[in-house]
Each structure stands twice: as structure tokens, then as C-alpha cells.
Chains A and B, each alone.
Chain A
């Protein structure tokens, strides 16, 4: 446990630097996710209405996930230079695909019988989407956001390569200087944040799942949870 004590002491001694890194890491992760949510949920609604043509859009966005973030960072830096913005762009590219794919899949997964019934009740296009399909797809959409957030929080560690700051500053200081305690000052908060995002969004996902009620929603491995996550 000694090494954790040393890491804590180091963080306290460098508190200004630590909080700056915290702000940068949260800022990068938050904005990347926010951009992904704002753009990809509407885009996902659109693609779910199209037939096979939608695949083209989804696969195009999916490229962001195939290219390693480090490569994106290093490819972007001659164009955009160093700092926060290029790092944010690289992370956003990573956050887009899960949100888009899940929104599309969630909406496509709505039972056609339900859709037909809604139509039969005389609901408008928007009414059907907003009152019936979107709530049914919501657990899957939140699942996408959850995947994206964990990926983004972990990958924001790479921003340090191009001067984007974040906890990666400490991790690289620890690696370069052969000091595990400094490495932990960066690594522990990253792991904790990723874990927190996973738990919070996982809980939210359960709360919005239809068919769950009462205390069962809060149980981490309840019956519905197993079904909805699959």
C-alpha cells in the first residue's frame, strides 16, 4: 500500500497541476461525448429510417473507431497544431460510432407491430418517434453512450502527446522518469473515472428500461438487466 500513499502525497504536493489535469481530462471527455450525442442521435434517427443506404453513413463514421487514437492525434497535428482542440477532435471521432450505431440499432429494433399499432392510433411521424420508438430504444442508445464514455475517458490519456493535457501528463511523467508513484497519480483517476461512468450510465440504462419497476431497477444484476444489456 506504500506506493499508493506515495502517489497521494505526490498528488497533494502537486495539487495545482493535478487539478489542472483533472479539469482538462474531464473537459476533453465531456465535450467529446457531448458532441457525439448532439450529432449522432439525430443522425442515428435519420439512418434508422433509411434502408441499406444507411450502412454507408454508419460505416463511414465507424472508421473513427478503427483508426487508433494515437494515429488520429499524430495525423491531425500537422493540420491543427498542438493543444486541446486537436485532442478533442480525435476523441470525438472515437465517441461518434458507438452512439450512432446504437441509436440506429435501437430504433430499428422496435417491434414492427408496435410501430404499426402507433400508426393505427393516428400518431404523427414525430409523435411515433418521440412517444413510442425513442423511449423503447433509449436503453440501447444509453448503452452506446456508456461504451463511448468509457473509451473516451481511457483514450483522453493520449492527449498529452500533443499538449492536450489531462491525466496522461502524469502517466507519461511516470513512464519517462521511471517512477510508478507518478504514473499512479494519473492512472488511478483515469480508472476511477472510467469505472464511475460505467456504473452511472449502466444504472441509468436500467432505470429507463421498460418493464423494470421498483427496487429491481437498482439491482446491478437483476433479471431485466441481463435481458436488456444483451
Chain B
């Protein structure tokens, strides 16, 4: 009895505490000078997200603290197939070149990996230019031109975090919307313009990022602004990995699709054309700590060679090998790819 009501109290107290932590972090961010606001905000996020990351990264702290003195290189990734595959590619080529590598894949959402990278628990991980602009830097007017956006993001990262963006891969894994073949045929939909008007009859499955704070910049809000319409009958928010399942299970008619997702072709869905160029470019590149790059000067060339080979078609196919019925391990998929491209023996 006693322990149970105690558990309830502790639970409540924990929640309140979390809130207090989150709340305390931010005032410093708002009082800081404009240029450093974003940096302070991310460290505030770091304070709250560091706990789970720290428990998994226990040994990493020690090794990377001495990163300048040739410690291990800790390669990380976020928690979805494409990020893990690309992370494994980085790890494999570095390892093959004799650099000691530690893998910390499948970590979580952007704020977690970013905080770990800034703190030094990670040495590098693959990030997308659009995410860097929207989620990390929170740029208010990011460029819609891939090259210009890359330059914008890269220079801000150097200035604010002492992090280097190496060359981006040629593919663009941007936001999009996928619909089932049936719906596409029924309403004769090819482009997002076509969809904007009939959205009111359709149910829409989305990941949290697409409808949250940034929605007006690069999400449902910006779609409504650019195309008009897009007032879906129902918006169902689901975990990022369950977007396509919602359509397959008949719980939704349309869903957020990242354009290189293997599921689009895999499930026979139709990705609609962004005919008014609404979405930001999302090119993937390794984001590396400056001290690590200085310690391993050949790293830059090694990773740039990998990025150059990753095209949209290729990465989609690799993604499907992991998330599709084959259920291959990301590490194997990454190594096979590197071998077929002649980057690994």
C-alpha cells in the first residue's frame, strides 16, 4: 500500500521535476545575445536529453575526452534505417583505413545526437541540411537551393558549434507525401497541387516533426501556405516508423514520406510531386567535430568519397533491404554497398 502511493507521488514529482528542468534551461537562452541563442537552446535540450544518452555512452566520454590525442572515433546515427546505414558506411571506411572506431548507432531524435556531438560523446554522425537548418539552427529564412542551404548551414555550424560539414551526398531525402495507389487512381492525383484540394476527404498520418513547431517552415503549415487547402479530414500523429503502416493498415489515406524511403516503392505507394518546390532540401553529409578532423586528417577524403557515391536511387534500395521483408542488418547492407562501389575490399 504505502509503496504504491509512494510510487504515484514519485511519478508526479518526476514529471514536475522534468518540467522544471526544461523551464529552467530556457530563460538563459532567451536572455543570451541573439547569435548564441540557438547554441544555448541546444545545450538546454542537452541537459534534458543527456541523461538517456549518457547511460548508453558511458565508456565513450572517457575515450573522446582525449579525442585530440588520437582517441577512438565514435560514429553515431539517429534511429531510422537511412541514418544507421550511412553511419555504418562511415564506420566501415574509417575502420578499413586503420582508424579505431566505436559505433553508437540508433540513438534517437536530432536534439539527442546533436547534444552528444557537441559534448564530445560522438565524433561524427550523418545529418541532413534541412534538419540542421530547421531543427538545430532554427533558421528563420533557410534557402530552398540545395547548395546555398548547405553553405548557410555549414558556416553556422562552424561558427556556433565548431563542427564541420563535409561534402554532401548527391541525393535529396526531402519531405513529401505518399498515398495509396487506390487513392491516387480514384482522385487522379500526381502532384501536391492535385492533393491540396481533395485533402479534406482524406486521413493523414504524420510523424511529430511535420506538424510541430516547425510545421510553418517545413511541414503541414508550409504546405497550407504554399498550396492552399491541405485541410485533411483527420490528422493522425504516429511514431516516425509507423507512417507507412498507417496506410497499409487502412488507418490513413496519405502519409508523410521522406523521398528516399524504401517503403514507397516497397509497398507500391505513390509519392506526389512537390510541383511548387515547397519543401527544404535535405542532403546528407557527415558532421564532424573539428578536433577529430585535426587528429585524423585523412578522414575528410575518406568520407567525401563515400558521400559522392550515395545517390537517391541507391539509398532507397538500401533502405528497403533493411526495413523491407529481407530485414537485413544495416551494417551488412552498408558494407555490401561499399564493396560494390569499390570503396571497401
State the A residues within 8 Å of B (CB): 1-4, 10, 77, 81-83, 98, 102, 105, 140, 143-144, 146-147, 150-151, 154, 160-163, 165, 169, 172-184, 187-188, 190-191, 194-195, 198, 202, 229-230
Contacts and interface: CB of A to CB of B under 8 A. Distances in A.
A2 B37 CA distance: 14
Given A3-B27, A83-B251, A173 B242 contact: no
A72 to B, nearest CB: 14
Given A160-B237, A161-B242, A181 B4 contact: no
A230 B124 CA distance: 52
Contacts of A188: 19
Contact of A187 (B19, B41, B205): B19
Given A81-B249, A105-B1, A165-B236, 5 more contacts: A3-B26, A10-B213, A160-B237, A163-B242, A181-B213
Contacts of A147: 4-5, 7-8
Contacts of A81: 249, 251
Contacts of B260: none
Given A143-B1, A162-B242, A176 B209 contact: yes
Contacts of A183: 22
B152 interface: no
B26 A194 contact: no
B213 A140 contact: no
B204 to A, nearest CB: 11
User: Which of B8, B41, B211, B240 has the most chain A CB atoms inside 10 A of its CB?
Assistant: B8
Contacts of B7: 147, 151
A10 B138 CA distance: 17
Contacts of A194: 8, 11-12, 15
B237 A146 contact: no
User: Which of B4, B109, B205, B245 has the most chain A CB atoms inside 10 A of its CB?
Assistant: B4
B242 A176 contact: no
Contacts of A175: 49, 109, 111, 208
Given A162-B238, A178-B136, A180-B25, A191 B12 contact: yes
Nearest to B111: A178
B28 to A, nearest CB: 11
A163 B247 CA distance: 12
Nearest to A7: B23
Contacts, number: 150
A194 B212 CA distance: 24
Given A77-B242, A163-B238, A154 B11 contact: yes
A70 B98 CA distance: 40
Contact of A150 (B8, B44, B239): B8
B15 to A, nearest CB: 4
Interface string B79-117: 000000000000000000000000000000111001000
A126 B301 CA distance: 83
Nearest to B240: A176
Main secondary structure of the interface of B (DSSP, over half): helix
Contact of B135 (A82, A144, A178): A178
B5 A229 contact: yes
B130 to A, nearest CB: 13
Given A173-B212, A195-B12, A143 B4 contact: yes
A178 B1 contact: no
28 contacts: A2-B27, A3-B23, A3-B26, A82-B249, A82-B251, A83-B251, A98-B4, A140-B1, A143-B1, A163-B237, A163-B242, A173-B213, A176-B208, A177-B212, A177-B213, A178-B41, A178-B42, A178-B45, A178-B109, A178-B138, A181-B26, A184-B19, A184-B22, A188-B19, A191-B12, A198-B12, A229-B1, A229-B2
B300 interface: no
B213 A151 contact: no
Nearest to B9: A198
A70 to B, nearest CB: 10
Given A184-B19, A187-B15, A195-B12, A173 B209 contact: yes
Contacts of A163: 205, 236-238, 242, 246, 251
Contacts of B16: 191, 195
Contacts of B49: 175
A176 B212 contact: yes
Contacts of B9: 198
